[in-house]
Structure 1
């Protein structure tokens, strides 16, 4: 099939590579404009742009899909459909209705649960027991369309946003190729149940702030959900500390105030939560690199009784 592909991050690039590997023709890749990133704030291309260039595919980077000229540029390509994977913009109706097979989306959740921008992180934070991917016919609404197929996987105790991201990227690509193999005869078989909708709102820094009045298991899930970015954080005095790896020790009532360091161990330190205790294993101080929590204790003199806020 002739396909226009729209995507931006590494998650999308996996599907783009799979499409080419399975013989689909992609005359144009649409991706977000280059952004400043890194310590030097240099202009950086998206992962999808880098992948497209490596595959010899033309890229197009409009600031907004509603901008003048975008629809005309897209219509210049003789495409059967458009595939959208984590593109980062709402696709307007004029584009959704341009192609014979419309627009198809790869979404990293079990719809209608976790529609929106951050389904992987929100599933971990909520303590979901499973997640997956859905291949969906796109509509004007946010992730509202009927679903062609889904793939499910369990969320296990040590899963992080990064580990699930990589698994779901591969799973989404496989499900996409499966769907396209029978698209001529396939019709969307599952309409989403409106009564089961939840929204995965975009993650911001406030979401990543640790509330030590939560349970140890809730805080551990937050740390695992934020492990790629922005990183779960807390404060020790005026210092903003990022916490990258933890382990739930127990979930009973704590005898110490939430956020209090109650033990120093060889592999980290233990903090009291409102319910339970949590061992901190990997930490990052302002301006520093990630280090073991034990190294942090030795270098900066963390003591029993210190309180994180």
Structure 2
């Protein structure tokens, strides 16, 4: 098929590569404009753009697709490119722009979206993070026929995937990216025979965009909540806490079976072992196993303790703007 592809991050790049490998012709790629990134804050092309340029695929980076929006000149130029592409279908994966109706109407067989959740649960920008944060037992991928709403279109294919107890957003992202790529290839192969299914009216939740401030650990929350948030915010933005005024990133932790002493304040270190730091939370103890200091590397606790003398009774500070336990 002749495919227009719209996507930006690595999750989308995986699907783009699988579509090419399946023999589809990618006639045009839409992706977000280059953004400053890294320590030098130099402009950096998205993973999708890098892949497209490597494979000689035409790329467009409109700032908007709304003809009546802030950048109408970008939308007009994109409209000409999309219409000239004469595409059979458009595949959209974590693109980052809302598609107006005129875009949905351009491809002969409409626009398909790869969404990393079991819709209608976790519509929106951060479904992988939110599924882990909420303690969901499973997630998955939905291939959706797009409409003008936010992840509200009819579903063509759905496949579930268990969330492992040690899954982080990073590890689950990779599993779902591969699954989504395989499923969209299957959807295109069966597009004429797939039966669209309306999303259920019940069970709708929204995966709001991750804010950096959410990463601050509140030790007044339950140990289970804290550990889920550590996993959900790995690799971005990284769960954070303060110790003696220094910000530390907590990259890995588990819930202990032990109960904190009655005298322990939330966030206090109750034990320092070779491989973990035990910290009192609301109802239990969090065993921290991987830490990072500002400007340093991620370290297993055994390595971290060689350069940081922690003692029971020291207190990790909670951030006041973190929401209460969920």
* Shorter-chain TM band: over 0.9
Q: In the alignment, what sits opposite 1:36?
A: 36
1:100 aligns with 2:108: yes
1:289 aligns with 2:297: yes
Q: In the alignment, what sits opposite 1:22?
A: 22
Q: In the alignment, what sits opposite 2:57?
A: 57
Shift of 1:234: 1.0
CA deviation vs aligned residue, 1:231-277 (integer Å, no higher than 9, x gap): 01111132221100112112756532111101011012110111111
- Structure 2 distance, partners of 1:157, 1:174, is 24
- Structure 2 distance, partners of 1:79, 1:221, is 42
Give unmatched runs, 5+ long, in structure 2: 67-71, 318-326
Q: If the length of structure 2 is used for normalisation, what is the TM-score? A: 0.91
Contact 2:274 2:301 in 1 (8 A): no
1:212 aligns with 2:235: no
Shift of 1:98: 1.5
CA deviation vs aligned residue, 1:14-56 (integer Å, no higher than 9, x gap): 1101111111111111111111111111111100011111222
Q: Partner of 1:33: helix, strand, or coil?
A: coil
- Displaced runs of 4 or more, over 4 A: 251-254
Q: In the alignment, what sits opposite 1:171?
A: 179
- Structure 2 distance, partners of 1:187, 1:101, is 14
Contact 1:269 1:294 in 2 (8 A): no
Which stretch of the first structure deviates more once superposed, 257-266 or 242-251?
Answer: 242-251
Q: Partner of 2:117: helix, strand, or coil?
A: coil
User: 5 Å matches for 1:146-161?
Assistant: 146-161=154-169
Shift of 1:292: 2.2
Q: In the alignment, what sits opposite 1:245?
A: 252
Q: In the alignment, what sits opposite 1:232?
A: 239
- Structure 2 distance, partners of 1:114, 1:22, is 29
Q: If the length of structure 1 is used for normalisation, what is the TM-score? A: 0.96
Q: In the alignment, what sits opposite 1:265?
A: 273
Give unmatched runs, 5+ long, in structure 1: none
- Structure 1 distance, partners of 2:24, 2:303, is 51
Q: In the alignment, what sits opposite 1:199?
A: 206
- Matching residue within 160, 172, 195 for 1:187: 195
Q: In the alignment, what sits opposite 1:121?
A: 129
- Structure 2 distance, partners of 1:132, 1:294, is 36
Pairs aligned (count): 308
- Structure 2 distance, partners of 1:161, 1:251, is 27
- Structure 1 distance, partners of 2:24, 2:216, is 44
- Structure 2 distance, partners of 1:59, 1:123, is 32
